[in-house]
Amino acid sequence: MKKTLNVIKVGGKIVEDKASLERLLNAFCKIKGDKMLVCGGGRTATKVSEALGIPTEMVGGRRVTDAETLKVVTMVYAGLVNKQVVASLQAKGVNAIGLTGADLDCIHSERRPVGKINYGYVGDISEVKASAFANLIELGIIPVICPITHNGKGMLLNTNADTIASAVASAMADLYDVTLTFCFEKNGVLSNPEDEDSVIPEIRKADFIRLRDEGIVSEGMLPKLENAFKAIDAGVNKIVITNADNLGKDSGTEII
Amino acid sequence: MKKTLNVIKVGGKIVEDKASLERLLNAFCKIKGDKMLVCGGGRTATKVSEALGIPTEMVGGRRVTDAETLKVVTMVYAGLVNKQVVASLQAKGVNAIGLTGADLDCIHSERRPVGKINYGYVGDISEVKASAFANLIELGIIPVICPITHNGKGMLLNTNADTIASAVASAMADLYDVTLTFCFEKNGVLSNPEDEDSVIPEIRKADFIRLRDEGIVSEGMLPKLENAFKAIDAGVNKIVITNADNLGKDSGTEII
């Protein structure tokens, strides 16, 4: 029987707000057994870009990443956010280590080809080295991954944190019984975005297509769900989309 | 017999200049056996501070680190510089991992007490966990350490990179036969700062006191040498101060 592994992704407003991040990290600490954290930081990157006078351009929820923006996201994701999270976890007795995809060569990506849009230094994941993470986990170390990858030729690339969480969970599913949880500021996938009580408890693939076609699910939720179904197809056991404050509780939306 | 371990510290103008950093990393890759890299980035931090409109204050070569400056050095040292170095090393086939002292809880520090000068968020090292590094090295992983430590209570602290290199080399001396090499833009400790050919080939403790009292060695070199003698006292086998372009060659100043 495989050991269980919890992969938790946190992003959105949670990372930016000290109190909500603290609550999330406390809940993360309470999760028993092997675990990993994937931590975004897009809002902080936008603020630092602003302070540096670098314009932020988003297309379909994705950041267009020119050379200067790549520096900013590397500083914010791999430095500021990741190391603050690692230091907080260490203070709570969790032996965390912060990682980009370049560290241990754990997440390889290819720069996205220029199509209708030139996303710049954005990387699409080509390989996740599950063994690199497993080696750390076997030493009792908790990986904290930030959304920076590399192409193996010395170039860092900006990669969506939801996509990283799904790809990592998928790769780890060969070795572990994986549960992937997306934590954010809403209670789950809502049938009415204005009503936090309208959580859809379960979504199957057929439901997803209907929800998408009816426009009930849109914007930021679309890539999250697409990533989730990819992970299910790749062998991830369970996927939950829930409020960061409900991590560890039986709540939110389960993807089946 | 202990295995040998090379601890290389690089800083100064080397890190800032792409071509010289590239040469240094190539030389680092050629070093046989177990090794670690400690990489500063002060000049880049000063530039980013400037771009953000945050004034830089240096006292005796040390950066006064207020809350905003701590964010900058965390972004630059742990993010921008560290991850670019890790990605470059990976491209050269070296399985590098970037670390602050918070990662794996590997370097503990205490915030420097306020004396005549309030250095702000500057940490003096209280413990280096040699086993954390040794566990990685045994897996064939090369640690790349940046000059950020933590106090174990969730606070990141700015710590001088030379001091980190000496403290890490000292702690590793319990487990390995350690050579510590400080790489910078000069050929070694010079008897005449204007003359790159005036390298002092060997400095013993008695020489150091004389050189200091005669004012031949001053400013940035003083803490470097003080750190070096501390490391010798702690059991480090050999210490060399040399030009980054001479790493791996028999050159520079040897501290005895």
Q: What is the mean pLDDT of chain A?
A: 94
SS3 A117: coil
CB A243 within 8 A of CB A252: yes
Tally of residues, chain A: 256
φ, ψ of residue B136 in degrees (nearest 5): -70, -45
Q: Which residues of chain B have pLDDT under 70?
A: none
Cβ contacts of A48 on chain B, cutoff 8 Å: 75
Do A90 and B83 count as a contact with CB atoms less than 8 A apart?
no
Q: Write the DSSP string, A41-73.
A: -HHHHHHHHHHTTPPPEEETTEEEB-HHHHHHH
Do B156 and A83 count as a contact with CB atoms less than 8 A apart?
yes
B31-70 tens-digit pLDDT: 999 999 999 999 999 999 999 999 999 987 789 999 999 9
Find tokens 């019984």 and name the residue: A177
B93 touching A, CB under 8 A?
no
Cβ contacts of A106 on chain B, cutoff 8 Å: none
A87 touching B, CB under 8 A?
yes
Nearest to B80 among A53, A71, A87 (CB): A71
**Alpha carbon distance B19, B170 (integer Å):** 31
Residue A217's pLDDT is what? Answer: 85
Q: Which two tokens stand for residue A117?
A: 């849009």
Nearest to A75 among B75, B96, B99 (CB): B75
Residue A108, pLDDT > 80, answer yes
Q: Write the DSSP string, B148-215.
A: EEE-SSS-EEE--HHHHHHHHHHHHTTTEEEEEEEEESSSSSBSSTT-TT-B-SEE-HHHHHHHHHTT
Instruction: Provide the angle, in degrees to the nearest 10, between the axes of the packed helices B205-213 and B221-233.
Output: 160
B87 touching A, CB under 8 A?
yes
**Alpha carbon distance B153, B155 (integer Å):** 6
Distance of CA B86 to the CA centre of its chain: 16
A45 touching B, CB under 8 A?
no
**Alpha carbon distance B80, A78 (integer Å):** 8
**Alpha carbon distance A102, A192 (integer Å):** 40
pTM for this one? 0.96
- Identify the closest residue of chain A to B77 by CA–CA distance: A79
Q: Rg (Cα) of chain B, in Å, rounded?
A: 17
CB A56 within 8 A of CB A110: no
**Alpha carbon distance B79, B63 (integer Å):** 18
% residues pLDDT > 90 (chain A): 85
Residue B215's pLDDT is what? Answer: 86
Residue B256's pLDDT is what? Answer: 86
Nearest Cα of chain B lies from the Cα of A149 at a distance, in angstroms, of 9
A229-256 tens-digit pLDDT: 999 999 999 999 999 999 989 899 999 8
**Alpha carbon distance A93, A213 (integer Å):** 46
Tell how strand A238-243 and strand A253-255 pair up: antiparallel
Mean pLDDT, residues A219-223 taken together: 79
